[in-house]
Amino acid sequence: MQICIGTSEIDGTFHRQGEAVANLLRGAHPVETKPMTGSSVGSALGLHSGELQFGFSASNWIGRALRGESPFKEPIDIRMAAPANVGPMFFVVREDSDLYTIDDMRGRKVAVNFIDSGMYQHTKTIFGILGISLHEFKPVHIGFAEGAQKLISGEIDAQWQCPIPNPVMTELANSSNIRVLSYAPGQLERVLEKATFYRQASIPSGAFRGVVKETAQVGVLNVIATHERVDNTIVREFVGTMIKNASSLGKSLELYQGLEELFKELKIAGRDIFEPGGVSLHPGAVEAYREAGLLP
């Protein structure tokens, strides 16, 4: 059976994660990874249309897809397959910038990714919780690579970055002097309290050039979703392959570091932890987790 996995733009977080999983499956199936416009949203729509069998998504989107909430026009029978990672999202500025905290971006030009992207929606969610109106800064809707170049040239004041490690952030840090913005006291805690699909994450000292001390940031649980119609056998094999290869995935791709620990959370906390937004595990995924001893 042909398997198509929805991902983000090429070299983006989801695309590299999708290719790593696809490579494990290609011995048994023809597998294609497909960059989807809008990333998380595009993957959900691709699952709905039958174009995709699996799709990478930030966990805050799949509940909306299930219920048919904006930007989705109708409910989607989306189901959970597996976790992917928890990664920090953050704003970067040039080292000589006069911006130091999230609040400092008011009135400034900030690259927030494409208007229909999941990354832009994260900024809307975070700023909404913090009481920062979208009219209080100047969002610039461009991709990560273009945003990095405009940050270097001074055409924008800050850039919203997807979870590290990612090639754009590495190249940006190695080619210019940059800093990471921090949250003011109490702000990060407020975001985590109001948006339960986020987790606290951190950027460790030395994660890339310009990070001289560990900084706490918002982390999002990224997941791999599927559709109710997808055959149980395919989902079981997909999830089982990820479970069996969690360690090797973490060694071959830093974005998968911690995947083994995420799977262990299922055994400790129960299936609810892998059902964000009320999206149930696909029956094929449940079979795989039971076979691995992660569910009773």
Measured CA to CA, the distance from residue 31 to residue 39 in angstroms comes to: 18
- DSSP code for 105: G
| pLDDT per position as a tens digit, 31-65 | 999 999 888 999 999 999 999 999 999 898 999 99
Of residues 221 and 233, more confidently modeled: 233
Of residues 78 and 204, more confidently modeled: 78
Query: What pLDDT band is residue 11 in, cutting at 50, 70 and 90?
Result: confident
pTM of the model: 0.79
Q: What angle do CA 183, 167, 17 make, to 5 degrees?
A: 95
**Strand 3-7 to 31-35 pairing:** parallel
Strand partners, 226: 54, 79
pLDDT above 90 for 197? no
**Strand 138-140 to 109-111 pairing:** parallel
Per-residue pLDDT at 119: 85
Query: What's the CATH fold of domain 3-85+221-291?
Result: D-Maltodextrin-Binding Protein; domain 2 (3.40.190)
| pLDDT per position as a tens digit, 88-137 | 999 999 999 999 999 999 999 999 998 878 788 889 999 999 999 888 98
pLDDT above 90 for 279? yes
Pair 50, 228: CB distance under 8 Å: no
Helix ranges (H only) for 131-231 are 144-153, 167-175, 187-194
Of residues 182 and 166, more confidently modeled: 182
Measured CA to CA, the distance from residue 112 to residue 114 in angstroms comes to: 7
Measured CA to CA, the distance from residue 27 to residue 151 in angstroms comes to: 42
Query: Under 8 Å CB-to-CB from 144, ≥6 apart: which residues?
Result: 9, 12, 113, 159, 161, 162, 166, 168, 169
**Residue 120 phi, psi (nearest 5):** -65, -40
Per-residue pLDDT at 257: 87
| pLDDT per position as a tens digit, 246-275 | 999 999 998 898 899 999 999 998 998 899
C-alpha R_g of the chain:
19
Q: Please give the sequence-ordered ranges of beta strands (E in DSSP) within 37-163, or none if there are none.
A: 54-58, 78-94, 109-111, 138-140, 158-161
Both tokens assigned to 55: 């799709």
Query: What pLDDT band is residue 191 in, cutting at 50, 70 and 90?
Result: very high
The H helix count followed by the E strand count for the chain is 11, 10
Per-residue pLDDT at 180: 97
From-to residues of CATH 3.40.190.10 in the chain: 3-85+221-291, 87-219
Measured CA to CA, the distance from residue 75 to residue 58 in angstroms comes to: 17
Query: Under 8 Å CB-to-CB from 17, ≥6 apart: which residues?
Result: 7, 56, 84, 85, 222, 253, 255, 256
What is the chain's mean pLDDT, rounded?
Answer: 93
Beta carbons within 10 angstroms of residue 178's beta carbon: 24
Share of the chain above pLDDT 70, in %: 100
Per-residue pLDDT at 64: 93
Give me the amino acid identity at 104: D
Pair 288, 240: CB distance under 8 Å: yes
**Which CATH code, of 3.30.2020.30, 3.40.50.2000, 3.40.190.10, 1.10.150.120, is assigned to 87-219?**
3.40.190.10
Both tokens assigned to 276: 């964000």
pLDDT above 90 for 22? yes
